[in-house]
Amino acid sequence: MSISTGVKAAIIVGCGLVLVGCQNDKFEQDFFFHHPAASRLQRMRQLPLDDQYRLFRYGNDKIEPPQLGLADPIAERGEAAVPFLISKLGPNADDLTIRDVLLVFETMSSTRAYDVKSNSDLMRTLRSRVSTMKDAEWKEICSRTLRRIEAE
C-alpha cells in the first residue's frame, strides 16, 4: 500500500509538532524528574529569574502535589523581582497566573523579603487583577491571600 505525498507530509508535520510540544517542557521535566528533589531550591537559586519563574509555574501547575515552596527563591529576590512579576499580570493573565504571582507576593510579605502592602501601586494592581478573575473559587482564595498580605 502506497502513501500519497500529501499524507506523508502531514505525518511528518504532525510528528514534528508532537516533538516540539515535548521539547517545550524539557527544561522543566529535567529539573523535576532527573535531579533529586532535596536540592531543588538550591538549584533554583542559581538560575535567572525567568527560569525560576518557569520552574515555579510548572511545579505549581503541572506537578501533584503542587510545589508551592518553589515561590521561595523568587520571593527572596524581594524588590528586584517586583517589575518582572507585575509584567506577568498583564491584561492576558489567566486566573492561574494571577494566583501564582500572588503566591510569590504573599511569600515575599510573610518572609519580609519585601513590604508588599506598602507599595500602593502594586496593591492596586493586585486588587484589580484579582477582581477580574473568572473562576469564583480561585477569586475567593486570592481575595483571602490579598487580605493576608494587607494584615502583615
121 lies in some domain: yes
Residues 6+ apart with CB under 8 A from 79: 114
Owning domain of residue 131: 25-151
6 lies in some domain: no
The whole-model pTM stands at 0.81
126 lies in some domain: yes
- Dump the DSSP string for 10-51: HHHHHHHHHHHHHHHTHHHHHHHHSS-GGGHHHHHHTS-HHH
56 lies in some domain: yes
144 lies in some domain: yes
Quick: pLDDT tens for 18-38: 333 445 788 788 878 887 888
Residue entry with cell 518572609: 111
Nearest to 141 by CA among 66, 86, 90: 66
Quick: pLDDT tens for 64-101: 999 999 999 999 999 999 999 999 999 999 999 999 99
- Helix ranges restricted to H, the chain: 5-24, 26-33, 40-45, 49-61, 71-75, 82-87, 95-111, 120-131, 136-151
User: What's the number of domains the chain is made of?
Assistant: 1
110 lies in some domain: yes
15 lies in some domain: no
Q: Which residues of 54-70 are buried (b: 16+ CB within 10 A; e: fewer)?
A: bbbbbbbeeeeeebeeb
Q: What is the mean pLDDT of the chain?
A: 86
49 lies in some domain: yes
Residue predicted with more confidence, 3 or 99: 99
Residues 6+ apart with CB under 8 A from 51: 27
Nearest to 74 by CA among 96, 57, 94: 57
Residue 70: what pLDDT?
94
